[in-house]
Structure 1
Amino acid sequence: MFSYPPFDEQILDLLRSRDEFIVLGHISPDGDCLSSQMAAGSLLLKMGKTVHMANAGPFDRSEISHLRADFLAHIDEELYNRNPIVVVVDCSSPERLGHLAKEIEGLTTIVLDHHSSGEQFGNHRYIVPRSVSTTLIIMQLYKALEVEISQEIAEHLFFGFATDSGFFRFINAYRGETLRLAAELVDLGVSPNTMADRMTGGKSLGYVKYLGKLIDRSESLFDGKLMYSSSCLKDRDTYITTDKPSDSLYAMLLSVKNVEVVLFFKELEGGSTEVGFRSSHQSSVDVGALAERFGGGGHKKAAGATVNEEIDIVRKKLIDAVGELLHG
């Protein structure tokens, strides 16, 4: 039976003894990243610390756009010179911090994460790849520091878990401890149906039409084992593209018979490309390792990367790379 390993006492001592902290998450933050940041920040505030939340963004999705004001976009010289401790959550490599990676160089850094791929960084690390979400790691930190989990914090912890587990769909056999942790959060006042509505409800008609276009645009290769779709900058002229349809898109394309890998390419300003990777539970393809080859990271079954090349170039390179893996 899996159980979380104990925290290094050096990590706990730093959190107890130091007074000022910066809590960072990865670029293009998702539910687990933001929920982990909010929960970790609340933990430190409950301990009487001074806390600064920072994230390079973008916060362009409608469900998170209102949070932009709560996060620093840069670490200024005055804050840096006070030598705060940096807590990085849900991030597998410094590149995934965007421009903030350079702005925290030289500061003592604690990394709390559950990604199996990526570059080892930070002065202190607590990385548990078997944890379904980073929020469940933050939950263990609350317990280790004997800090009470309020209903509001429990909701952050559950939301991150729910998004990264596909609302329980990605949990394998013999992982009862994950369900027991979820049950603890429900007993603290979390409503799973409210969390489900927050994840999937409230979408605009424009979102649904955009999702439909991306599905219509999808292509199949390698005897149906790879499916991919692309979002272009010009889509903004016709569709509402601020609500990312990627999770729904992945679910739809992975449901197609024989599909092992799904790629979603999004054209960005300045000639860069954001790529989302997913693989089916039956597939042997490790998309986390694949994403790492392109400067990103993630899990064996779900990962992401931002590549500083045009979308057509990135798409060809990745299609070729997936083809080699599928036929290897």
Structure 2
Amino acid sequence: MEPRNGTQIIEFLLLGFSEDPALQPLIFGLFLSMYLVTVAGNLLIILAILSDPHLHTPMYFFLSNLSLVDVCFTSTTVPKMLVNIQTQSKAITHAGCITQIYFFILFGVLDNFLLTVMAYDRFVAICHPLHYKVTMNPGLCVQLVLVSWVISVLNSLSHSLMVLRLSFCTHLEIPHFFCELKKVVLLACSDTFPNDMVMYFSAGLVFCGPLAGILYSYSKIISSIRAISSAQGKYKAFSTCASHLSVVFLFYCTCLGVYFSSSATHNSHSTATASVMYSVVTPMLNPFIYSLRNKDMMGALKRLFTGKP
């Protein structure tokens, strides 16, 4: 076979986790279960927040947006993988692959920015409680979410357009369960230096930047909590951000785990398995973390199911 230009490519092949036919039903059942739990859990969070006037606050406004993004984030990759397993096909079209890259980066980065916005919300609530209602007004909350969307869309668009300029050769097998940007770029037989530069710059902008913002917010939050005299006051202040801190820890630890595992090993299947943690498991666990540790959310969910005010 002769090398083919990127514009002539019909499809890529997603190798997934295992080529053993005996494992395919197990993988299908596991991921279908996780996907259904993710969608149901996050949609319940959104419905509970929309239906309960007590939860019409900045913190829950950001949480409802995070839940919506988590559903979209998981829906970008898992349904296609389930269809491929069911049809016993590994193929994804060139257009489908670029589309998957676009939306995966979009919702992944948006998740990142929303966690940062939520950290800022907790910072204002704990460090400047008297100014909270004035500072975190509805207009600012909407602006913060819109800015997060705009930056995420532009960042994702830049990566997708950079991939479109690449030419690919005959080896079009992606050792992953979705079109992961770095894996696709490695398959190119044209110059990928501009793509690498965009990836490094983007990592600094949309990963390190928000992480620095979260760390700064929590450093101020911890200082404010330490200044509270009563143990009950400290516990109450910490409990308001415990759920968010748990989600931040889970998200960033799994992302960093994937990065270091891919750097330390050349086993592509291990990297794909590690990627499941932040792309599937974390969005699935978020509703449990925010509901089980939150009395207001538990009450809203109970009222949603019983129909009682």
Same fold (TM over 0.5): no
Instruction: Pick the structure with greater CA Rg.
Output: 2
